[in-house]
Structure 1
């Protein structure tokens, strides 16, 4: 699926620190914890809590965030629709990576079991 250049640019320039509080609110509202969210983010990106906090403090863009990430080799197993786009069909790598993260946060908030979210089951 093709995203527009404007859409991709907007995602690339968005700061992770502007979205992260919304991730926390979303999962906590559904009874999950910040620690579970951190586990999901670390699985996808390789960032531990300290590194993640450093990136938040630096107000890095999603472009910089994912350029520093060591993407999990099973990330390509993340499939489904998020924000109207089928993740596996998104052609722009950065946009796809951001949508991977969005999908994992959604799965966590929806109560999916952690081993399924982390694609270990």
Structure 2
């Protein structure tokens, strides 16, 4: 049974929206260092090095290896990590799917950045050339 509040919005829709926002906030609160270490393990299993991972992430974020290591060693959340970073101007050229979601269609800006980062690391781990990953 749908119940409407005074604004004409169903309560179920409001709760679903809160649940979705709560899910996003949970992702945003995830430590960047944990993500970075997962990425590193993934690419090393595929025979790649930390330097190569840092090269790909550095292209995306504009951060050097020292800055990436410092962020990974800090307690920064994904939200804090991306706050204040100017992504590569060609980051908008990153297209494709991560977990069945087209990254270019993700409306939430922070989630789109996270998905883009996931996608380029996935591409790298699968053996795509770094020159192709670095769009433009």
When normalised by structure 1's length, the TM-score is 0.91
The answer to whether the aligner puts 1:14 opposite 2:30 as a matched pair is yes
Give how far 1:49 is off.
Answer: 1.2
Q: Which has the larger radius of gyration?
A: 2
- Structure 1 residue runs without a partner (length 5+): none
Runs of 4+ in 1 over 2 A off after TM superposition: none
The answer to whether the aligner puts 1:98 opposite 2:114 as a matched pair is yes
- Structure 2 residue runs without a partner (length 5+): 1-19
Could you say which structure has the greater relative contact order, defined with CA pairs below 8 angstroms and 6 or more residues apart? Answer: 1
- Say which SS state the counterpart of residue 83 (structure 2) adopts: helix
RMSD: 1.1
Aligned residues of 1:45 and 1:71 also touching (Cα < 8 A): yes
When normalised by structure 2's length, the TM-score is 0.81
For residues 57 and 32 of structure 1, what CA distance do their matches in structure 2 show?
21
Count of residues in Structure 1 that have an aligned counterpart in Structure 2 = 117
* Equivalence for 2:126: 110
